[in-house]
Amino acid sequence: MQFTNNFKMPDVFYRLIQREREAYVTKAPKGVKSYGVTTLIDSPFIYKLRRKHDSEITEDVVDSLFAFRGKGLHEGLASVPIYNVIPKINIGMMIGGSFGDVWVGGELDVLRPYTIEDYKMKMVEAVWFFNDNSKLDLTRQLNLYKLLAECVFGWPIHNLIGQWFLINWVSYKAKIDKNYPQKPHVEIPVDVWSRDDAWEYLYSRVTLFEKPLEETPICDPVQRWQKKTQWAVTKKGNKKALKCEDSEAEIKAYIAKKELKEENYEITKRQGEDTRCIRYCNVNKFCPYYQQTYAGKEIEQEEPATE
């Protein structure tokens, strides 16, 4: 991957991001195929496109700022001594199967008696849009960490918890809006799988990742962060929607209920999109789905609804 600095970030930051990229090394034994837990729970198609086109991928260092903030949190965790707590620990193990021998590893943020915690820096918006798919990703990640910890250390794990810290939280909004997060932190307990279920999931993912690119399915709608088509009501002259609904009939019913005057508001159809493909995928130019669906088309940036 090649880094650019098109937004003129400070040279120190630019060099730091480059160094972090170059300094990354796997914890696997030398010469052994390896996968990280966070890789295995994500899209195998994106993973393989990145490996195939690594030398052709260009990314601006400004896109690494958010990840850099998260790294600061994790580095801080490693320096805090707490009784009976092991922070920021790399673990891994070798597994064998029809795919051969593979090393699977991960970095646990906090390991304490019977509990694994994962720490993340998030935006407040991540709380608003948190759904079953978001929780499933966290559940998969933490249950694979649980499997690693139990196999490597022999310690039973009964609790899996996500700890989110909200970096754009605003205190005065919490005071005036009861639906706004009341503190810059959210704790998310997730379901604990049986060891058999965790092994089954792990083997299924490694098997999928070991297939050649030609046999790998493209990202599904969840992995593409697909948004469905909706109808919106906006005040004339504004882009921000007052309300969005799944059908024109529903949005008209909302207008009638709120007694909005027709001359002041308008209804627009907001076409669905695959948000990750359009805005956050650095290999979309190599992806047949993106090329067929979006290449050469103008993508409009829309404001979220206020309700």
Query: Residues 6 or more apart from 280 whose CB is under 8 A from it?
Result: 225
Residue 305 confidence (pLDDT) above 90: no
Q: Alpha-carbon distance 120 to 127, whole Å?
A: 12
- Walk me through the domains of the chain, giving residue ranges and CATH numbers: 2-215 (3.90.320.10), 226-293 (no CATH)
* Residue 51: predicted pLDDT: 95
Residue 50 confidence (pLDDT) above 80: yes
* Residue 215: predicted pLDDT: 97
Residue 165 confidence (pLDDT) above 80: yes
Q: Alpha-carbon distance 27 to 109, whole Å?
A: 16
* Residue 29: predicted pLDDT: 78
pLDDT band (50, 70, 90) for residue 294: very high
- Rounded to two decimals, the pTM is 0.86
Q: If phi over 0 gives left and psi between -120 and 50 gives alpha, with beta otherwise, what is residue 154?
A: left
pLDDT band (50, 70, 90) for residue 307: low
75-118 pLDDT tens trace: 777 677 676 677 778 888 999 888 889 999 999 999 999 999 99
* Residue 84: predicted pLDDT: 64
- The percent of residues in the chain predicted with pLDDT above 90, rounded, is 56
- Cα torsion at 11, 13, 14, 20 (round to 10°)? 140
Nearest to 77 by CA among 114, 113, 107: 107
8-32 pLDDT tens trace: 999 888 887 777 766 555 567 788 8
* Residue 239: predicted pLDDT: 79
* Residue 213: predicted pLDDT: 97
Residues 120, 72: contact at Cβ < 8 Å? no
Nearest to 191 by CA among 167, 148, 166, 159: 159
Q: Alpha-carbon distance 303 to 268, whole Å?
A: 13
- The percent of residues in the chain predicted with pLDDT above 70, rounded, is 93
Which run of H or of E encompasses 189? strand 185-190
Query: Residues 6 or more apart from 109 whose CB is under 8 A from it?
Result: 74, 77, 87, 88, 117, 118, 119, 163
| Higher-pLDDT residue of 244, 197 | 197
Query: Residues 6 or more apart from 264 whose CB is under 8 A from it?
Result: 235, 236
| Higher-pLDDT residue of 98, 62 | 62
114-164 pLDDT tens trace: 999 999 999 999 998 899 999 999 999 999 999 999 999 998 999 999 999
* Residue 77: predicted pLDDT: 72
pLDDT band (50, 70, 90) for residue 188: very high
* Residue 52: predicted pLDDT: 96
Burial of residue 49 (number of CB atoms within 10 Å: 0-12, 13-18, 19+)? buried
pLDDT (mean) for 291-297: 89
Please state, as a whole number, how many other Cβ atoms lie within 10 Å of the Cβ of residue 259: 6
* Residue 140: predicted pLDDT: 98
Average pLDDT, the chain: 88
Here the tokens at position 96 are 């064998």
